[in-house]
Amino acid sequence: MALRGRYVPLPPDQAMVLRAAAFSSPASGVTRDAAPRPMFFLPLTASRVVGAGEADFHRAAVAVLTWQAQLRAGLSVHASASFVAEGAVVDQRLGPFSFPCRVVYVVDEPRRKGFAYGALPGHAERGEELFAVSWDPQTDEVRVLIHSVSLPAPLWLPLFPLLRIVQHVFARRFVAAIAQAAQEGIPRFAPGAQVSCEKTVKPAKRLRIS
């Protein structure tokens, strides 16, 4: 992907403000399996097979947990931690726009890794978004899942149709970013990088989005 953002450590004073801020949605954890969806909040899901086997799963998981989906999608990431952890805060920026979030929970299972963050005041959306990678024990397929439950923030309601289009665009970018990372790995010098993985090449898989 040609367009990449940059990683910037979030200053401690800004991180403290974001940690103290309340989530903009009425509940947290709404992207968990079987969690009830708040009234009027809309779901969006993008999913794609990005590889097969342990090596692809490991590369994709490391990419998700080091903000590579956001960075490779063109967002600048100002985060309190280079490796995602519960409670970490991040201010994603695109031009003059700021999208602050706090990590609600981290998924740390043998064959499933990822995290979800919730929007904070100042974000264009209210809600939560999940970034997860799974490794199917039967098919050996590695799949990335982007799932959000959201509603525009009050000031952005007049632009709801446009925001929905932007959401779909970035969901596709996030999936493509992790697909690329699953094949290439991430550079050793990348923020939060724990390993350097060899490049593997596999055929592209079809994206599913709803």
**Averaged over 135-155, what is the pLDDT?**
95
Burial of 207 (C-beta count, 10 Å sphere; 0-12/13-18/19+): middle
pLDDT single digits (tens) 148-175: 999 999 898 899 999 999 999 999 999 9
pLDDT for the residue 202: 38
Q: Report the C-alpha gap between 30 and 25 in whole angstroms.
A: 9
pLDDT of residue 26: 75
pLDDT at position 190 over 90: no
Count Cα neighbours of 41 within 13 Å in the Cβ-side half-sphere.
23
89 strand-pairing partners? 102
CB proximity list for 163: less than 8 A, separation 6 or greater: 124, 125, 152, 156
Rounded Cα distance between 210 and 208, Å, is 7
Domains of the chain: 23-184 (3.30.530.20)
**pLDDT one-digit tens code per residue, 49-85:** 999 999 999 999 999 999 999 999 999 999 999 999 9
With residue 142 as reference, give the H or E element that holds it: strand 141-152
